[in-house]
């Protein structure tokens, strides 16, 4: 299938692509995850830091409750602190390496995802196999775009992670994670998808709610049932 992974060579014929673009294919956008957003959204570093903080406080509280002094409680926390910092540091490092090695590419014919830290693979996702897209804005200008694929074949969730929509395990959805200027990229993707499939796209934007529904696509109104619709 055309969305099966292809192992990357050490030398890239073109940045983020396993081979040069054909003469009839045009590059529209290329980008990578923003580290500061990725480490929070996909790797939940802030949540982990709070969790480890609670564990350390619980350890100190237990020592105090058992008759230990304040110094004993601090010492007990310090014994656990290196392990907590090491675990948190590994998560941050993994997020940084992911942001450094990932390249997302949008052309007028497909979406290409070059992912992987140790073993780099490329997923080619032609518009003919993308049946829907879902956009979720984050803080600032970053956001995420999930792609729903047609057909029975699917990409293994573990092969895609963290470039997969959370909790969609049975039918995985590749996701462009924590990209900058995400609303513009979503509009560009919608237009390219529609043009590739010969579908008219309305230029009018829908009204965005104060609290947009998770994974909604408010940036363009697309004719159904064949349009690039919002996944729910």
Q: Output the domain CATH number for residue 195.
A: 2.30.29.50
Last residue of a domain, one of 70, 98, 126: 98
DSSP 3-state assignment of 134? strand
Do 202 and 127 lie in one domain? The reply is yes
Residue 38 neighbours by CB under 8 Å, 6+ apart: 95, 98, 99, 162, 177, 178
Q: What pLDDT does 44 receive?
A: 93
Residue 90 neighbours by CB under 8 Å, 6+ apart: none
**Averaged over 139-154, what is the pLDDT?**
86
Do 133 and 80 lie in one domain? The reply is no
Q: What pLDDT does 202 receive?
A: 46
Phi/psi of residue 101, nearest 5 degrees? -100, -10
Q: What pLDDT does 199 receive?
A: 67
pLDDT of residue 150 exceeding 70, the answer is yes
Tokens read off for 168: 């969609």
pLDDT of residue 211 exceeding 80, the answer is no
More confident residue, 217 or 164: 164
Between vectors from CA 57 to CA 56 and to CA 62, what angle results, nearest 5°? 100
pLDDT above 90: percentage of residues in the chain: 48
| E strand segments, 170-222 | 175-179, 201-202, 221-222
Candidates 192, 158, 160, 186; CA nearest to 174 is 160
Tokens read off for 85: 């910092």
pLDDT of residue 11 exceeding 70, the answer is no
Do 83 and 179 lie in one domain? The reply is no
Do 112 and 214 lie in one domain? The reply is yes
Do 183 and 124 lie in one domain? The reply is yes
Q: What pLDDT does 71 receive?
A: 82
Do 176 and 128 lie in one domain? The reply is yes
Task: Note down the domain range covering 94.
Answer: 39-98
Do 148 and 203 lie in one domain? The reply is yes
DSSP state of 206: P
Do 112 and 68 lie in one domain? The reply is no
DSSP 3-state assignment of 150? coil
Pairing of strands 143-149, 130-137: antiparallel
pLDDT of residue 51 exceeding 90, the answer is yes
Q: What pLDDT does 152 receive?
A: 72
For 215, left (φ over 0), alpha (ψ -120 to 50), or beta? left
- Confidence class of residue 192 from pLDDT cuts 50, 70 and 90? very high
- Confidence class of residue 214 from pLDDT cuts 50, 70 and 90? very low
Phi/psi of residue 69, nearest 5 degrees? -85, 175
**Averaged over 57-85, what is the pLDDT?**
86
Q: What pLDDT does 4 receive?
A: 45
Pairing of strands 121-126, 130-137: unpaired
Q: Is residue 225 reached through a cis peptide bond, with omega within 30 degrees of 0 on the bond before it?
A: yes
Candidates 184, 175, 176; CA nearest to 219 is 184
pLDDT of residue 232 exceeding 80, the answer is no
Do 118 and 81 lie in one domain? The reply is no
pLDDT above 70: percentage of residues in the chain: 80
Q: Are 156 and 190 in contact (CB under 8 A)?
A: no
Total domains present in the chain: 2
**Averaged over 163-170, what is the pLDDT?**
90
Do 132 and 21 lie in one domain? The reply is yes
Q: What pLDDT does 226 receive?
A: 33
């Amino acid at each position: 299938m055309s969305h099966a992974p292809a192992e990357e060579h050490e030398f890239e014929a073109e940045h983020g692509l396993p081979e040069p673009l054909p003469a009839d294919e045009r590059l529209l956008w290329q980008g990578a995850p923003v580290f500061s957003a990725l480490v929070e959204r996909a790797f939940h570093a802030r949540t982990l830091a709070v969790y480890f903080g609670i564990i350390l406080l619980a350890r100190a509280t237990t020592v105090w409750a058992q008759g230990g002094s304040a110094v004993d409680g601090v010492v007990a926390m310090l014994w656990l602190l290196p392990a907590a910092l090491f675990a948190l540091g590994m998560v941050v490092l993994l997020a940084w390496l992911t942001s450094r090695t990932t390249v997302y590419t949008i052309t007028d014919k497909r979406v290409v995802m070059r992912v992987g830290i140790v073993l780099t693979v490329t997923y080619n996702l032609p518009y003919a196999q993308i049946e829907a897209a879902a956009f979720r804005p984050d803080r600032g200008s970053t956001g995420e775009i999930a792609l729903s694929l047609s057909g029975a074949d699917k990409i293994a969730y573990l092969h895609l992670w963290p470039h997969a929509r959370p909790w969609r395990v049975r039918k995985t959805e590749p996701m462009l994670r924590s990209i900058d200027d995400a609303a513009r990229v979503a509009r560009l993707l919608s237009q390219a998808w529609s043009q590739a499939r010969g579908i008219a796209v309305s230029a009018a934007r829908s009204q965005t709610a104060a609290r947009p529904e998770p994974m909604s696509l408010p940036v363009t109104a697309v004719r159904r049932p064949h349009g690039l619709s919002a996944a729910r």
